[in-house]
Amino acid sequence: MGLGFNIRTRIRNIGAFKRTVEKLAAESGYHAEHDESATRVSFCKLGDLFLNYQYEGKENSVWYFWWD
C-alpha cells in the first residue's frame, strides 16, 4: 500500500534544510541520509520518505524542493 502526493517549495539554504531534517529524524529515532539530489528518512525497512531537491539558478541560491 502506498500514499502519494506532491508538495513543492523553494529553499534558500540547503545546508540548513539538511541539518534540520537530520535533527528531527534523530529526535524521533529515525535515520536520515543525503546525496546531491535527495534526502531519505528511514522509518523502518519498508518505510522511507524521499525529499528531492534541485538547484535552480544562482540568484539567492534558490533550491526547489519536492516530495512525491
Residue ranges making up the domain that contains 57:
7-67
Confidence of residue 67 (pLDDT cuts 50, 70, 90): low
Cβ proximity of 49 and 40 under 8 Å: yes
**Per-residue model confidence (pLDDT) at position 2:** 65
Q: Is residue 2 domain-resident?
A: no
* pTM of the entire predicted model: 0.73
Question: What's the rounded Cα separation, in Å, for the pair 37 and 30?
Answer: 20
Residue 8 backbone class (left: φ over 0; alpha: ψ -120 to 50; beta: rest): beta
What domain count does the chain have?
A: 1
User: Is 49 within the bounds of a domain?
Assistant: yes
- 1 lies in a domain? no
Q: What is the pLDDT of residues 18-57, one digit of tens each?
A: 999 999 999 999 999 999 888 889 888 778 888 888 887 7
Rg of the chain taking only CA atoms, in angstroms: 13
Higher pLDDT, 14 or 57: 14
pLDDT of residue 23: 96
CA atoms within 13 A on the CB side of 39: 21
- Tell me which residue has cell 546525496: 35
SS3 state of residue 17 = helix
